[in-house]
Amino acid sequence: MNNNYELYKVFYLAAKTGSLTQAAKALYLTQPSVSHAIKQLEDSFGITLFYRTSKGVELTQEGSILYSYIEKSQTLISLAEEQMAALKNLDSGELRIGGSDSLFKHYILPYLENFHMQYPGIRLHLNHGTTPEIIALLKEGKIDLGVVRMPIVDSQLDVRESFQLQDCFVAGALYSELKGAVLSLDMLLQYPIILFSRNSRARMAITELFQSYGHNLKPEIEVGSVDLLIELARKGLGISYVTREFVSKELEEGALFEIQLDVPIPPSHVGSMVMRNMPLSGPARRFIELIH
């Protein structure tokens, strides 16, 4: 049995109003059309759903049982339509973003604040990790988009560049004799180097740069957060490789200074990535518009 939804809609309104005329008016149909729809429904079940009274129609016992189910379905449909409208207007829903701690803190946070002010009904879910971890989360459907360092070469992903960052080596007061000096890579390697973990895109990029000049970059200390890179450099435990934009405050205050090299460090690019050929949720689409 596969009755048309419209038949149930006619039945529901006729039962709710107790009038074929009112049901017809609500549905913009003629009364004969409403009568015919109810007759079709009754014939499909082989039972009588209504009996006529002087005031209109009333449900039979069988009709009352059917109505108890149809009423619930109509309520759910109405709730679904309200929810779809809320999602369209970004009054509700969720936004799931993946990125590194440093990108969240120094880049994504202002956009999240702006987004939350515009759409307070959207729940935010932030997932921290390295670029490979964020890619895995995206492919598993656990996040809507990732914000990561590029390049990303993956046929399953669509990646759009957002902005550039400039990485550099920085040191604290213990190495003040290096201020203003221009160091070769050989000279830099005479000092203890502090790098981010092996899986980070920044770590891979600087390692490749040194290799292109015939040097093997071996850090004295490896850490898992940008905050530790900054703090260890401040304490004089070595020279840290960080993103200049992430230490602008320390550089301005003089707590750290930038080491000048005789070779350029290319800028790094940050972009957003989503699954290719997959529809984006409204919140994800709007957030991408904000950051590009």
Q: Are 248 and 132 in contact (CB under 8 A)?
A: no
Q: For the segment 209-230, what is each residue's pLDDT rounded down to a tens digit?
A: 999 999 999 999 999 888 999 9
pLDDT surpasses 90 at 188: yes
CATH class of 167-266: alpha beta
Tell me where in the chain the CATH 3.40.190.10 domain(s) lie: 94-164+270-291, 167-266
What does the pLDDT average to over 34-57?
94
| pTM of the predicted protein model | 0.67
pLDDT given at position 199: 73
Tell me where in the chain the CATH 1.10.10.10 domain(s) lie: 5-88
> What's the CATH superfamily of 94-164+270-291?
Periplasmic binding protein-like II (3.40.190.10)
CB atoms within 10 A of CB 174: 14
pLDDT given at position 1: 61
Residue 99 parent element (H or E): strand 94-99
Q: For the segment 9-28, what is each residue's pLDDT rounded down to a tens digit?
A: 999 999 999 999 999 999 99
Distance between the two ends of the chain, CA-based, in angstroms?
A: 52
Fold adopted by 5-88 = Arc Repressor Mutant, subunit A (1.10.10)
Cα gap 126→115, rounded to integer Å: 14
Residue 120 CB-half CA count within 13 A: 1
